[in-house]
Amino acid sequence: MTETTAHASAPPAPPTLAAVPPGKVASIVTFLEMHAQPAPLPAPDAPHLSLRHVAAPETGWYRDLFRRIGEDWLWFSRLQMSEAELAAIIGSPDVEVYALSRTQPDGTSIDIGLVDVDFRTEGEAELAFFGLVAGETGSGAGRLMMNLATARAFARPIRRFFVHTCTHDLPAAVGFYRKSGFVPYGRAVEIVDDPRLDGTLRRTAAPHVPIIE
């Protein structure tokens, strides 16, 4: 038996497991990017939906929409920021915030989606946050939002538009981003304090991610 054959027939190495300490949560983060604006994909004709640029977002409004969209996917980062820190980010001229609104039967409207595009790194645009409240995914609303996001990103002279998602997020997220023109280029493991244990998020949030104390 040759050395090459012996190596080829050797059993695979056992998987490596890293323990996650109690009180923390771990996820696999996937990084995706695009370098040119793709053609917009068909979006639904939805006169009851409208996108607006929120030129001067109030922190209370932003936190409320951020929480309504992301609590069950363990979005927490901007809920833990101070008022000054959050206001400086979302009020920056290099951060564009858009809201998707739904017109109700009584004529009132409610915000159901968030698009947050960050240009603070020269030559780059990050899709910092992108999402819909529960019950709105799969309706085509996300396509309206993504068509806007890519158009806004490439309205400036950038080299790349990038986003990341993780295994705490909606399972369809990676497929949606790839269909939209993003290409995966990296992966990492992230371990953070569980935001449900310090009151940042409600304890019952994200039931698909068990709490281990």
What does the pLDDT look like over 163-205, one tens digit per residue? Answer: 999 999 989 999 999 999 999 999 999 999 999 999 999 999 9
CATH superfamily of 22-193: Gcn5-related N-acetyltransferase (GNAT) (3.40.630.30)
| Model pLDDT, residue 1 | 41
Rounded Cα–Cα distance for residues 35 and 62 (Å): 29
Rounded Cα–Cα distance for residues 42 and 123 (Å): 28
Helix, strand or coil, per DSSP, at residue 165: strand
Q: What is the mean pLDDT of the chain?
A: 93
Q: For residue 67, give Cα distances in angstroms to 25, 59, 114.
A: 18, 12, 11
Rounded Cα–Cα distance for residues 36 and 180 (Å): 12
Tell me the two tokens of residue 133.
Answer: 């409240």
| Model pLDDT, residue 2 | 40
pLDDT above 70 covers what percent of the chain?
95
Please say if the pLDDT value at position 137 is more than 50.
Answer: yes
At residue 63, what are phi and psi to the nearest 5 degrees?
-60, -40
Rounded Cα–Cα distance for residues 45 and 56 (Å): 28
Q: What string of H, E and C letters represents the secondary structure of 19-45?
A: CCCCCEEEEEEEEEEECCCCCCCCCCC
Q: pLDDT grade, residue 60 (50/70/90)?
A: very high
* Mean pLDDT of the region 51-65: 97
Q: Which helix or strand (DSSP H or E) is residue 199 part of?
A: none
Place of tokens 């280029």: 185
| Model pLDDT, residue 23 | 98
Beta bridge partners of 33: 162, 183
Please say if the pLDDT value at position 4 is more than 70.
Answer: no
Tell me the two tokens of residue 138.
Answer: 């799969």
* Mean pLDDT of the region 45-57: 93
Tell me: the pLDDT tens digits for 90-135?
999 999 999 999 998 898 999 999 999 999 999 999 999 999 999 8
| Model pLDDT, residue 9 | 62
pTM for the model stands at 0.90
Closest CA to 78 of 94, 68, 92, 67: 67
- 128's CB contacts (< 8 A; 6+ apart) are 95, 116, 117, 118
